[in-house]
Amino acid sequence: MFERLGLRQPVLGSITVCIVVALYLLAALNGTFWSKGIAYLGQDKPALAMLAIALAAGFIALCVTFSVRYLTKPFLLFLLLTAGSASWFMDSYGVIIDPEMVRNAVETTSSEAGHFVDIELVAHVLLFAIVPSLLLLVVRIEHRPFWSKLWHNLAVIVPCVLILLGIGLANARVYSSLIREHRDWFATLNPIVPIGSAIRYAIGSQAERNIVAAPLGTDAKVSGTPLPQRKPRVRIVVVGETARAENFQLGGYARETNPELSKRDVRYFSNTSSCGTATAVSVPCMFSVYTRQQYTHRKGLSTQNVLDVLTNAGVKVEWWDNNTGSKAVADRVPYKELFRSEDPRFCAEGECTDDILLDGLDHWLDNVKGDSVLVLHQLGSHGPAYSKRYPERFRRFTPDCRSVDFAKCSHDEIMNAYDNSLLYTDYILATVIDRLREREAVMDTAMIYMSDHGESLGELGLFLHGAPYLIAPSQQTHIPFVLWLGDSARDEIDLSCLKTKQDAAQSHDNLFHTVLGMMHVETKVRDQSLDLYTACLKGR
């Protein structure tokens, strides 16, 4: 091609190309890492300068290690494209791409992922990933004969590794203390961390492919008065999405984000924490028998959950989903993928508002024949497209951010859109309560609501969710927890006992055991210390 155009193709040595790419990756695609480094090491400029030299040496050593004929270009292109894409999400939203964030990306729907694709993302990837990749493709890389290449590569790699180790050891006290204090810092090193996280996720997923969930709670049975000598117990469990307690009016937030729930006799647990900071972790964890400290993704897959225990006890269980799936929780119970609906009343552009969860609720309730639990999985307040989470009639707080690019919106506009989504959730929950209350004459009713995790809205420079739990801010882990009890349930509960628990520390750990308690299910796997309902039964 170059000959036809009368041009000479640029020719560069393999080591030169590797050094240029390494320095470009470190300098141009690590904005978040260096901004944190300046903030944490700003008073110690020599340590910051030495860190830059050490990392430059490390990046060069890594790239030159793969300086092999037929491998150099593919490897460097992979680094450029990965780093160019990852830098957008880290710089724009402050996210950390750990294995759980990779899991979220893999398990999301195309419509949800599409909210992140806008002109700014395209422009960023084009400028920082595609253009450098094209320049690399244009260059003809010159390789030495094998043995000569080996020695020349080692002549670069070995000194670079020694520089990296030497600076690291010489400044170990400074760097190690800062890394321990600021765990978010090196978690943003691009593309090392994103690639490492993807590899860890892939290895873990491969190991989990053939896991079969072990039986749990096979001894489960409903205690007390049998049917039909009493009304059937009907509980609706609403799994919220991305609702943070900090913006819940029931918890003291100044805005009226819960005007409807505030009119209903609900119990709000103000000090509740999540199991994770992303749906793929929190949803299976909150339904599992394991506490947050015990839970792992593998354990969640290899052990049946509370829905299975309820089924063992003879309770009818069903899951309706308007999110991205149950994360394997509902694999063994009747399941409806409402988020795949194309009903124009609720759905557009591959997503549905949460009204779709209410659409068939009357019919389901009217056909209840025995003890039943229905799980409603909301789309809730999932970002960044908060404005798409609520119908126009819930656009109360304005002006609200209508873009997925937060740089185009003020903090107040982002907050307004988010609060509107909570206002809509308030309506959904109040409607569920009203539908249950209408049937109290024929059934024993209750509703329990927990969000899966919270959301950052610019605090500490972070947006969205998914931060590693050890460094996650409270906005991502402090969640709303609402309990509504119908007349029959209230009659058997000591409400003063329940009130003492409303300000105490609660968590997703309570859901498994409390739902069993609400259904009067006895089993060895129910932990009474985590069962908020049974602990407050009258006469205990």
Tens digits of residue pLDDT in 316-351: 999 999 999 999 999 999 999 999 999 999 999 889
Tens digits of residue pLDDT in 113-149: 777 777 888 999 999 999 999 999 999 999 899 889 8
Reading the block at residue 136, the tokens are 């690399």
Instruction: Based on the fold, state whether residues 81 and 133 are members of the same structural domain.
Output: yes
User: 226-229: long-range contacts (C-beta < 8 A, 24 or more apart)?
Assistant: 227/370, 227/371
Domain boundary among the residues 165, 185, 207 is at 207
Place of tokens 């180790």: 165
Give the pLDDT confidence score for residue 349 in this predicted structure.
87
Identify whether 145 is preceded by a cis peptide bond (ω within 30 of 0): no
Averaged pLDDT for residues 412-423: 98
In a domain, 215, yes or no: no
Tell whether the torsion through CA atoms of 246, 250, 256 and 257 is positive or negative: positive
Place of tokens 């993928």: 337
Domain boundary among the residues 182, 207, 232 is at 207
Instruction: Based on the fold, state whether residues 147 and 18 are members of the same structural domain.
Output: yes
Instruction: Based on the fold, state whether residues 236 and 183 are members of the same structural domain.
Output: no
Instruction: Based on the fold, state whether residues 263 and 199 are members of the same structural domain.
Output: no
Reading the block at residue 283, the tokens are 């949803």
Instruction: Based on the fold, state whether residues 431 and 481 are members of the same structural domain.
Output: yes
In a domain, 161, yes or no: yes
Identify whether 232 is preceded by a cis peptide bond (ω within 30 of 0): no
In a domain, 387, yes or no: yes
Instruction: Based on the fold, state whether residues 427 and 456 are members of the same structural domain.
Output: yes
Reading the block at residue 207, the tokens are 């190991």
pLDDT score of 5 more than 60: no
- Do residues 498 and 538 make contact, with C-beta atoms less than 8 angstroms apart? no
Instruction: Based on the fold, state whether residues 162 and 290 are members of the same structural domain.
Output: no
Nearest Cα to 191, choosing from 101, 98, 87?
Answer: 87
Number of domains the chain is built from: 2
Give the pLDDT confidence score for residue 209 in this predicted structure.
83
- Return d(Cα 81, Cα 86) in angstroms, integer: 9
In a domain, 505, yes or no: yes
Domain boundary among the residues 174, 207, 240 is at 207
| CATH code of the domain containing 282 | 3.40.720.10
Give the pLDDT confidence score for residue 1 in this predicted structure.
54
In a domain, 465, yes or no: yes
pLDDT score of 442 more than 60: yes
- Return d(Cα 14, Cα 17) in angstroms, integer: 5
Domain residues for the domain of 21 are 11-207
Instruction: Based on the fold, state whether residues 501 and 352 are members of the same structural domain.
Output: yes
Instruction: Based on the fold, state whether residues 418 and 389 are members of the same structural domain.
Output: yes
pLDDT score of 305 more than 60: yes
What are the distances in angstroms from CA 87 to CA 83, 95, 186?
Answer: 6, 10, 14
Instruction: Based on the fold, state whether residues 198 and 227 are members of the same structural domain.
Output: no
**pTM of the predicted protein model:** 0.88
Reading the block at residue 472, the tokens are 């996650």
Provide the residue type at 362 as one letter.
Answer: D
Reading the block at residue 223, the tokens are 């205690």
In a domain, 216, yes or no: no
Instruction: Based on the fold, state whether residues 163 and 288 are members of the same structural domain.
Output: no
Using only C-alpha atoms, the chain has a radius of gyration, in whole angstroms, of 27
- Do residues 323 and 241 make contact, with C-beta atoms less than 8 angstroms apart? yes
In a domain, 4, yes or no: no
- Do residues 505 and 292 make contact, with C-beta atoms less than 8 angstroms apart? no
Instruction: Based on the fold, state whether residues 264 and 201 are members of the same structural domain.
Output: no
- More confident call, 371 vs 104: 371
Give the pLDDT confidence score for residue 2 in this predicted structure.
52
